[in-house]
Every structure is written in structure tokens, then in C-alpha cells.
Amino acid sequence: MPKYDDPEFTLSREVVLPAPAAGAAGVNKFVLHAAAVLLRAQAVVKVAGTSADTGSRISLVSGTTTHGVLLTGSSTAGAVVTADLTGTVPADTALSVLQGTDATGAVYGVTLEYREAFA
């Protein structure tokens, strides 16, 4: 484990995740192989949704825990949406990137910012 003054201790990392399929309830799953503290997510809108944020959204979920939601609503194409995330994810836990119920809303991809969770 690094010492508290080691840059590795507070270094933020990013990973770009493929966007879930456009349309209702698309999903992509991925795994971070080290325990991680989730910090922030960002996405660029590809196609504006036709419903409110309740249907046009991207959720980041592990198991039954929702760590954050990117509300795309009816944002125009090219708009950048962000969300602060919460929670620590144990090593080798599957995270899901879920599309809301809107039939048309889509994003290009989701950038996830995190840092390793040291024991």
C-alpha cells in the first residue's frame, strides 16, 4: 500500500466505456480488476431523447446499488452531461451502464473517473 504522500494514493484514473445500445433498456457491463472509489461520470449526447430525465438517462450500477445517473433528458446532440458518483466498488465487481427507458436517447460513450481503493 502506498504512503499517504505518494502520488499513487490520490491519483485519479479514467476509463471510457462503450455506450449502451440506443433505445429502451440497453446495457453494457464491465469490470475494474482493482477495488475502486467512483468519483465522476461524463458523456456526450449523440441523439437527444424524447422523454424527461426519468426515461432519458444513463445509470451506473453494481449489483443493486446505483452509483450515479447521467440525466440526458432532451439535451441536444453534442451536449455534455456529468454526474458525481458515490461508493466504493470491490475488486472484480461487474458494473453496468444502463440506458433508460427512452426509445431514442443515446450517448457516444461514458467516461468514468475513479481512484483505486487501498485497504
Who contacts 49 (Cβ-Cβ below 8 Å, separation ≥6)? 55, 56, 72, 73, 74, 75, 100, 102, 104, 105
What is the pLDDT confidence band of residue 8, given thresholds at 50, 70 and 90?
low
Percent of the chain at pLDDT > 90 equals 40
Q: Are 17 and 30 in contact (CB under 8 A)?
A: yes
Residue 85, number of CB atoms within 10 A of its CB? 19
Distance, CA of 24 to CA of 21 (rounded, Å): 8
Q: Please, what is the end-to-end C-alpha distance for the chain in angstroms?
A: 7
- All three cell numbers of 110: 461514458
Percent of the chain at pLDDT > 70 equals 88
Q: pLDDT tens-digit profile of 60-101?
A: 999 899 999 999 888 888 999 999 999 999 999 999 998 888
Q: pLDDT tens-digit profile of 23-74?
A: 776 888 999 888 999 999 999 998 888 887 778 888 999 989 999 999 988 8
pLDDT for residue 20: 84
- Domains of the chain and any CATH numbers: 7-116 (2.60.120.260)
